[in-house]
Structure 1
Amino acid sequence: MSAVEYRSILKYRLMILIFPNDETCPVCRKACLDKYGEHALHCRELPGFKYRHDFVRDALMDILRRAGISAKKETPVNFLTDPSEGRSTLHPADVLVFGWEGGKHACVDLTGVSP
C-alpha cells in the first residue's frame, strides 16, 4: 500500500474531510465525490473494483475445487436467447456450479456493494 493510499484510508476511517467540496467524479462523471471520499473508494470505473470482484470469484472457485464440486467461471448461460440473434441475452455467470441441487446447475453472480 502506498503512502497516499494509507493516508486516504486513514482519513476515511477517522472521518476527516478528503475533498473540500462535493464534486462530480472525474472518473465516472456520474456520481458525486462526497467530502469524506465514500464514492472515491467504491467507484465502479476504477480498476480496483473489478479486481476485488475477480478476487472473490477466484477464491470461491478455489473453495469449490478443493471441496470436489464441479464448477466453471465466466460461463455463458444460454437459456434466455434472442431468436433474431440466436445467442444469449444475458452476461456470463460469474460461477456456474454443476449438479448443485437435485442434479440442477446453479448460476452464481457476485455483486460488490458499497457501504
Structure 2
Amino acid sequence: MEKIVPKCEGGAECVTEKALNIIGGKWSFLIIKNLAGGKMRFGEIRKSLHDISPKTLTVKLKELEEHEILTRTLYPTIPPSVEYALTPKGEEMIEIIEAIKKWGEKWT
C-alpha cells in the first residue's frame, strides 16, 4: 500500500506545516499547556518546566507572542513584573493538546 503524503503546491507552506512551525518543539507546546490554567509569571512558567533555561524560555515566549498565541503584560513595579496569558488564538490550541494527551495515554 502506497503512503499518500500531501504536497504543498507552488512551493508555499501547507497549513499543517505553518501550524507546526508555530507550535515548534516541546517547549512551546508545554508553555501553551501550562498557560491553559490561566495567567502565569516568568518564574512560575520556568518552575513548571523544570529543565528549561531562562534564555530558551525567553526566546520561546517571544516567539509565541509574535505568533499571537500569548500576550505579555508588563506591570510598572520595582522590579518589573510580567504576566503571560493565552490569547483566544492560543486557547483554541487547548483542544489539540487534549487530543494529543488522550492519544499519549492510549498509545504510550
Q: TM-score range by the shorter chain?
A: under 0.3
- Hey, which of these two has a bigger chunk of strand by percent? 1
- Relative contact order, higher structure (CA 8 A, sep 6+): 2
Q: TM-score w.r.t. structure 2 length? A: 0.25
- Hey, which of these two has a bigger chunk of helix by percent? 2
Q: TM-score w.r.t. structure 1 length? A: 0.24
- Which has the larger Rg? 1
